[in-house]
Amino acid sequence: MKIAGRIKNLGTETAFAVSAEAANFAAGGNKVYPFHLGDMNIITPENIREATQKAMTDGKTGYCPAPGIPQLREALANNINATHQTNYAAENIAIQPGGKPVIGKFILAVMEPGTEVLYPNPGYPIYESQIEFHGGKAVPYNFSEGDSNFTLDIDSIEGLITPKTKIIIFNNLQNPTGAESSDDEIKKIAELAVKHDLYVLADEAYFDIRYEGKSRSILSFPGMEERTVILYTFSKKFAMTGWRLGAAIGPKNVIDIITKLNVNDESCSNHFIQYGAVEALTGDQSGPQNILKTLIERRDHTIKIVNSIPGMRCFNPHATFYLYPNVTEAMNIIGINDYHEFRKQVLENTGVSFCTRLHFGREIGEEKEKYIRLAYSGINVDQIEEGLGRLKSYIENH
């Protein structure tokens, strides 16, 4: 039987294939140090679990409204208004089964086929996949490695804009680089969006995974509220990756369309976990604070060891749970130029498993500098030290 032609344009998240390879390697009796997937080995805070169990016991087990229960939509609107200087109400919120569905639904709601969409590359691979699957042209913009951050070149982004450009995807704080845009950089992106009348998808999956300083949203700049949809997720801040709960937040006319897509796709998000999410937003906040404490300790250990490995360097990101070390020299030291080969050799010789630049969108021309992504959200400090210690010895012995 023939498969639909459009499927050739559907991409994927190849990090899951790295997980499968790591699991295979582990099944062969080998030790694996999992730095590859942005999942968390931290359990969801107790008060959230209890509120969810109570809702289930209380019978919140049927369908609920397609855009989510009113209590959760209101709580989330209040929460975002407090941090984003916005004026959202429940009608601006459509609850989703995770943050990820916001990408495809937003694109379906506002992108005509043939439209050009600017997206960060390296970046979350689902942007490229969803843009192309729905008939758009994915136009990448990239980052430059500085001394203490990855930065954007606003002039070169503006140079990519044509009359067909209708959307920019902006992921601050960024996966995979850990990049954090300065207020000035965010303001300039906002100004570009206004000047060229672009929709903005503000992917704020890591807005609250911040260890130093304060997160600033593009929403807090003039002219943004009417053209921006926020991708919000409970996954990271509250360690709820497997629950699948997030939200699209934005102008009512777009949120209404996204709600209609909910009706078509899943009817509604899981009912009883939405009561757990209300507790997450309005209840005791020691859970997310402890999550941050755990993550910062891991970050500090990971950075220290990475910067002691010959041929590897990375700066100290203030947010996300990723490091994006430059490994150009390390690859030279062991005499490998190919990302797949490097990843395979390191896994087989040390058990350290990670994603490379290739898992975050197509390469843009010939890229001289080589990068890998180390996620420290799913690995404890003792394992970080043991695994990266093995990686260090492996490279030192060449």
Kindly list the residues in this chain that would bind ligand PLP in the complex (CB under 6 A).
38, 98-100, 124, 171, 175, 203, 205, 231, 233, 235, 241, 246
CA 154 to chain centre: 22
Per the CB < 8 A criterion, the answer to whether 169 and 127 are in contact is yes
Run of H or E residues at 141: strand 137-141
Closest to ligand PLP by CB, 193 or 231:
231
Give me the amino acid identity at 378.
G
Closest to ligand PLP by CB, 101 or 351:
101
DSSP 291-310: HHHHHHHHHHHHHHHHTTST
Closest to ligand PLP by CB, 174 or 259:
174
In this structure, the chain runs to a length of 398
In whole angstroms, give the CA distance from residue 268 to residue 68: 7
Residue 246 beta carbon to ligand PLP: minimum distance, rounded to whole angstroms: 4
Give me the amino acid identity at 99.
G
Residue 228 beta carbon to ligand PLP: minimum distance, rounded to whole angstroms: 15
Closest to ligand PLP by CB, 138 or 395:
138
DSSP 2-17: PPPGGGGG----THHH
Residue 233 beta carbon to ligand PLP: minimum distance, rounded to whole angstroms: 3
In whole angstroms, give the CA distance from residue 89 to residue 219: 15
Closest to ligand PLP by CB, 100 or 298:
100
Residue 232 beta carbon to ligand PLP: minimum distance, rounded to whole angstroms: 9
In whole angstroms, give the CA distance from residue 99 to residue 193: 23
Question: CA neighbours within 13 Å on the CB side: how many for 164?
Answer: 12
In whole angstroms, give the CA distance from residue 170 to residue 269: 25
Phi, psi (degrees; rounded to nearest 5) at 371: -135, 150
Which residue's CB comes closest to ligand PLP?
A: 99
Residue 96 beta carbon to ligand PLP: minimum distance, rounded to whole angstroms: 8
* 70 DSSP assignment: H
In whole angstroms, give the CA distance from residue 119 to residue 249: 19
User: What are the residues facing 352 on neighbouring strands?
Assistant: 33
Residue 192 beta carbon to ligand PLP: minimum distance, rounded to whole angstroms: 20
Rg (CA), the chain: 21
Residue 322 beta carbon to ligand PLP: minimum distance, rounded to whole angstroms: 8
Closest to ligand PLP by CB, 99 or 311:
99
Closest to ligand PLP by CB, 123 or 136:
123
Closest to ligand PLP by CB, 142 or 233:
233
DSSP 42-65: SPPPHHHHHHHHHHHHTT--S---
Closest to ligand PLP by CB, 99 or 136:
99
Residue 226 beta carbon to ligand PLP: minimum distance, rounded to whole angstroms: 23
Preceding amide of 176 cis, omega within 30: yes
Residue 334 beta carbon to ligand PLP: minimum distance, rounded to whole angstroms: 29
Nearest partner of 259 among 87, 94, 60, 49, judged by Cα: 94
Closest to ligand PLP by CB, 128 or 203:
203
Residue 95 beta carbon to ligand PLP: minimum distance, rounded to whole angstroms: 12
Cα 287-288-289 angle, rounded to 5 deg: 90
Per the CB < 8 A criterion, the answer to whether 95 and 67 are in contact is yes
